[in-house]
């Protein structure tokens, strides 16, 4: 029996074990990050949807604190939503697609075709916003100023 063959077998076993450990750690980190960055809806939460197609409907939406407001892009191309004040944006209970990797609220959000963003507002107030129908052209077609009115509770 060759001394090197024993070393090779032991090295291979350690290498396989380290690969398994590395894969386990990577999978665990990926799951943890997706849970931290993702958005899990609570059961029983009311979801109010703003549909962005040729127009944006409704022009004024009423919701209560804790309800989810979802902007859905039903167009064939991306759109950009521009929020006119951050006060209500920053105080939210849940979100999807509105907070960047550093935890900062983004007041200009691009929504891909068929995708959506959402917020669950924590307090009352009015959030005004516009939708650019071509996110690459800030001077192009834009919606009138629209309002999400968070009232009562």
**Are 130 and 64 in the same domain?**
yes
Domain holding 23, by residue range, is 1-37
**Are 31 and 54 in the same domain?**
no
| Residue 86, in any domain of the structure | yes
| Residue 42, in any domain of the structure | no
**Are 59 and 126 in the same domain?**
yes
16-52 per-position pLDDT tens digit? 555 555 555 444 444 343 333 344 444 578 999 999 9
109-135 per-position pLDDT tens digit? 999 999 999 999 999 999 999 999 999
Asked whether the beta carbons of 40 and 50 are under 8 A apart, the reply is no
Give me the pLDDT at residue 59, please: 96
**Are 78 and 146 in the same domain?**
yes
For the chain, what is the domain count? 2
Q: What is the DSSP string of 51-110?
A: EESSSEE-SEEEE-TT-EEEEEE-SSS-EEEEES-SHHHHSEEEEESSB-TTSPBPSEEE
The distance in angstroms from the start CA to the end CA of the chain is: 79
| Residue 93, in any domain of the structure | yes
Q: Is the pTM of this model over 0.85?
A: no
49: tokens are: 């949807």
């Amino acid at each position: 029996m060759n001394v090197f063959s024993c070393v090779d077998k032991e090295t291979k076993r350690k290498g396989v074990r380290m690969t398994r450990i590395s894969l386990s750690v990577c999978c665990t980190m990926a799951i943890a990050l997706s849970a931290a960055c993702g958005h899990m809806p609570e059961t029983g939460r009311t979801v109010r949807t703003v549909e962005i197609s040729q127009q944006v409907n409704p022009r004024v939406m009423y919701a209560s604190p804790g309800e989810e407001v979802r902007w859905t892009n039903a167009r064939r191309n991306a759109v950009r939503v521009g929020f006119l004040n951050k006060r209500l944006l920053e105080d939210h209970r849940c979100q999807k697609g509105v907070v960047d990797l550093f935890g900062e609220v983004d007041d200009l959000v691009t929504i891909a075709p068929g995708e959506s963003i959402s917020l669950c507002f924590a307090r009352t107030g009015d959030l005004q916003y516009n939708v650019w129908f071509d996110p690459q052209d800030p001077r192009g077609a834009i919606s009138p100023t629209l309002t999400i009115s968070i009232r009562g509770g």
